[in-house]
Every structure is written in C-alpha cells, then in structure tokens.
A = this chain, B = another copy of it.
Amino acid sequence: MQELKKKILQEGRVLSDQVLKVDSFLNHQVDPQLMVGIGKEFSARIHEGYATENKKVTKILTIESSGIPAALTTGLELDVPVIFARKKKSLTMTDENYVSQVYSFTKEETNDITVSKKFLDADEHVYIIDDFLAHGAAAHGLIDIVQQAGATIAGIGIIIEKSFQDGGQKLRDLGYPVHSLARIKSLRDGIVEFMEDEHS
C-alpha cells in the first residue's frame, strides 16, 4: 500500500535493527484518513479471497489497543462487528470467556487475552487484524481464541510486517492468508527497506 509505505518513510523512526517507531500515525497518534485507506485496502484483499473461498467474513477480531483503529475502519467497509480482545480483565467481564496467552516483546510481559464467549460462535468467519507482525505472538493468541470458539479464520490483516522476523512465514506455512500492507525486509543501518510485493 503506497500511501502507507510513504508515511513510514516520511515519519517512521528506526530505533534499532529490530524496532521501527510509527507512533505519529499508527499506534499513539493516529491519522484517521490513513486508517480509512487501510480499512479499504484490507476489505479489497478480503474480497479477492472470496473468489476462491466463497464465504463471507462475519466478524473482525483484533487486540487492544493499536489494532482497534484499522479494525474499526475495516469493519465499517465490510459492515460487520469488530471485537477487540481485552488484555486485562475488567470487573464487568463477568461472562464466560475464551482466554489465550500473548507475550509482548515491546513490553516484556505475558498477558492473558480475553474474548467473551457470547461474541464468537462456531459459525463465525473471522478476519484477524493487528498493527504489527513480528514473531506472531498476538496473531497466534487471536487464532487460538477463534479456534476455541470453533469458528473459522478468513485471513490475517497486518499493517506492518517485519518480514525479517519469522511470524509472517510461520502463519503462511500454516496456510492462513496473510495480508500485510507494508512488508519490511530490513531496518539495518537505520534504513527502512521494503520487500518487493505484488501488492506494492
């Protein structure tokens, strides 16, 4: 997605060979127009999949907090509800829940992630969205929750994939369609280098 890549080059900051900071438009300050563009792009990639899959997405699933804006704009495009998995149980979460564990490399902690059972049925066809894909920890936690519900996975939409880490390849090896809007090949020497991609 050209608009996103341009924004990454203009505003992203390479903090190390592993870490790209995009907090001016993606995960602290958010550019709403860019998020609408991202929602349209995920929606387009999902619709491409319908040709072979013939099964419509019924829900978007993300994880708080940084996945929420793109999940919302995608839900708007597809006209389906959005669920965000909670990282911390609220006292008002009194229902039965699906729970999985996710390790955060940027926060160095393991969180239980929780989705109320009443929002995921076995007949749902779920599209998973997250802002970053690195080792794939969050994506695997969300997949686990969809599987606990007995529901199916339509695909995984990622805003920025760090392709030099193994999360994306592992998900593709498992057979999931992974739609990454910007795939980063390397952050070496403080320079963002993108993968060549048929969707660029």
Contacts and interface: CB of A to CB of B under 8 A. Distances in A.
A81 B32 contact: yes
B84 A30 contact: yes
A72 interface: yes
Interface string A25-58: 1001111110110000000000000000000000
A18 to B, nearest CB: 10
A21 B119 CA distance: 14
Nearest to A22: B92
Contacts of A118: 24
Given A21-B92, A91-B106, A83 B33 contact: no
Nearest to A64: B65
A90 to B, nearest CB: 5
Contacts of A93: 23, 28
A9 interface: no
Contacts of A32: 72-73, 75-76, 79-82
Interface range on chain A: under 10, 10 to 19, 20 to 34, or 35 or more?
35 or more
A88 B64 CA distance: 12
Interface string A102-125: 000011100000011011000000
Given A82-B29, A83-B30, A90-B107, A116 B23 contact: yes
A158 to B, nearest CB: 17
29 contacts: A21-B94, A23-B93, A24-B118, A28-B83, A28-B93, A28-B115, A29-B82, A29-B83, A29-B116, A29-B119, A30-B81, A30-B82, A30-B84, A32-B72, A32-B80, A32-B82, A33-B76, A35-B72, A64-B64, A64-B65, A65-B65, A65-B68, A65-B84, A65-B86, A68-B69, A69-B69, A72-B72, A72-B73, A92-B106
